[in-house]
Amino acid sequence: MTSAIIVKYVLLYKLIFMSKLLWAKVYYQDKFAGYLQQEPGQRYVFTYDQSYLTSSSPAIAYTLPLQKTPHISEQALHPFFDNLVAEGWLETAQRRLLGKRTASRFELLLAFGNDCAGAVSIIDPEPAQLHTDKIEKSDQANLAIMQNRASLSGIQPKLLLIKEKQKFRLAQLGEISTHIAKLPSLNISDIVYNEWLTLHACQALLPNDDFVVADLTELPGICEQALIIKRFDRAEDSQKIHFEEFNQLLNLDTIEKYDGAYKDMADFIYQNKLCLRSDVYRLFKRILAGLLTGNTDMHFKNFAMFNNEQGLRLTPNYDQVSAAIYKPYQYVALRIDNVADRIIKQLKAKNIIALGQEFGLNDEVIMMAISEIQNRLGAAKQAVVDANQHHTLMRDNIINFMEKRWQETFSSIGQLLSKKR
């Protein structure tokens, strides 16, 4: 036997017997749905279990339809699963608990996929041991990460809670959380107040739309003020409700959440028979409200749809933050009028009209949306005042931003459309 052949067989032996390829059980609500496994070369395979295929249960994801043959993704996790992995502060804390600086996305999902957004959970048959010596035992936030093994996207610090007798407590391993606590960011300490005020402004601008239920309150032992969000993907009986972010629906990895245009979501709705065309108009008005209030971080993961027997329907409005009042966040998240990285203060009336046209809306419908926003502008400013009497600087910054954006971007839309006609 030649030396080259010997080397080949040694490498093959190491690949098969010495490397530990990861795998997990995937559950939809409380039903075992199938297996997700890693193969050599960073190839990932999801296979529905035969019993799930014959149970009349739905597909676990829009991009993973029911089928006997495996769903294969080369060199990376399937985008649906990748978007379940934590980001930012939580991801860093999870890597520290695993004792690894370079833990893969799949390793993080295996270790912390017990409670994810939506109805799907990822269960490791041999859960990794967490390095509890890597965290400060007095730090309730870090302890919570270890206890519930949850995975939440977004860079802002978050914790999972359960509401019992009008009080909140940290969710434990195996429990189904009912609320999410958003904590102050290390970089933006007042972000919870910002979101609280911006949420009230958007609710006033869009009184007929659905929004998350939120409260600003103290979390003893963790922080003085946290924004507590009632999970819209959990029913009153703790049943998990299936939904998918547009990043998942569009089959994009987490890092691609800024790579695209707002029209991509409208196109998806128009082209999908499971959707209602009226949701295009609702989505358009949400984006208008976000631009008016300075929400430059409206990326694909901040819009989502329920996926149920009725079809695909927009979830409640969430993650409303006036990011543009902070100097580093002046660029609009997604393309408008086929241009990326637009500075929000440079948006003109013609760009908003172009956005409406990209959504397939005619001039009359675009004007109707603008008129609805205009009629609610005063109520939105008053809602910001009423929401919090203490953070006057934040309140004034958001109100001033709305007033300036209306004058410089929105106020001349009607006149421009009239000239066009």
pLDDT for the residue numbered 9: 41
CB 8 within 8 A of CB 22: no
Number of helices (H) and strands (E) in the chain: give both, helices first. Answer: 14, 13
SS3 labels along 314-339 = ECCECCCCCHHHCCCCCECCCEECCE
Residues 137, 72: Cα–Cα separation, whole Å = 41
pLDDT for the residue numbered 421: 66
For the domain spanning 245-420, the CATH number is 1.10.1070.20
Please provide the distance, in angstroms rounded to a whole number, between the alpha carbons at the two ends of the chain.
83
Residues 123, 26: Cα–Cα separation, whole Å = 6
Query: What b/e string do you get for 241-279 counting C-beta neighbours within 10 Å, with b at 16 or more?
Result: bbbbbbbbbbebbbebbbbbbbbbbbbbbeeeeebeeeb
Ordered by start, the domain boundaries in the chain are 23-130, 245-420
Torsional sign, CA 325, 329, 332, 334: negative
Token couple for 187: 């970089």
pLDDT for the residue numbered 11: 44
Nearest to 233 by CA among 320, 150, 156: 150
Place of tokens 């103290």: 218
- pLDDT tens track, the chain, 421 positions: 555 544 444 444 444 443 578 999 999 999 999 999 999 988 999 999 999 999 999 999 999 999 999 999 998 999 999 999 988 777 887 888 888 777 889 999 998 888 899 999 999 988 777 776 655 655 555 656 666 677 777 777 888 898 888 888 888 877 888 999 998 887 888 999 999 999 999 999 999 999 999 999 888 877 788 999 999 999 988 899 999 999 999 999 999 999 999 999 999 999 999 999 999 999 999 999 999 999 999 999 999 999 999 999 999 999 999 999 999 999 999 999 999 999 999 999 999 999 999 999 999 999 999 999 999 999 999 999 999 777 889 999 999 999 999 999 999 998 998 877 6
